[in-house]
Amino acid sequence: MLLKLVIAFGLMAACVVIHASGITWSMRQLDHTSMRGRRFWRTTSVSISLATRMVVCHLAEISLWALLYLFTDAMRDLPSSLYFSAVTYTTTGYGDLVLPQEWRLVGGVEALTGILMCGWSTAFFFAVVGKLHAHEPAVHS
């Protein structure tokens, strides 16, 4: 049990590295993005770009957990591992696939990691969109 938790916390740390890298990459791309143009299109294009980058990070993290389940025979095949991992990471929790009893606590760590990473993405997204609007003149009716 302790070894499985150590593995789970190692994967959690790997997810933090993936997410920090993705956010750093996104910030660097934002530094090179022209902020000229109409506010709606600028905000929309930056939002789409950020959302895409964050989803790619989440998919990489989900895949990492899925590979753990696959290589430890906790799930029977890659599609099942990916599906279970996505449902767990996003805390959807359908319950149609479950881990063997000795791996269930690891699934809980994945769910907690997913909550944290989704929260981090949301905070980053909110901060960027707030900055995009910070220097815009107020619209008065």
State the pLDDT at residue 43: 82
Rounded Cα distance, 12 and 18, in Å? 10
State the pLDDT at residue 1: 86
Q: Report the topology of domain 1-8+54-134.
A: Helix Hairpins (1.10.287)
Amino acid present at 141: S
Rounded Cα distance, 70 and 20, in Å? 25
- Give the residue extent of every domain in the chain: 1-8+54-134
Predicted confidence pLDDT, tens digits, the chain (141 residues): 899 999 999 999 999 999 999 999 998 888 766 555 567 777 888 889 999 999 999 999 999 999 999 999 999 999 999 999 999 999 999 999 999 999 999 999 999 999 999 999 999 999 988 887 776 665 555
Rounded Cα distance, 83 and 47, in Å? 27
The answer to whether residues 89 and 83 touch, using CB atoms and an 8 Å cutoff, is: no
- Strand segments (E) across the chain: none
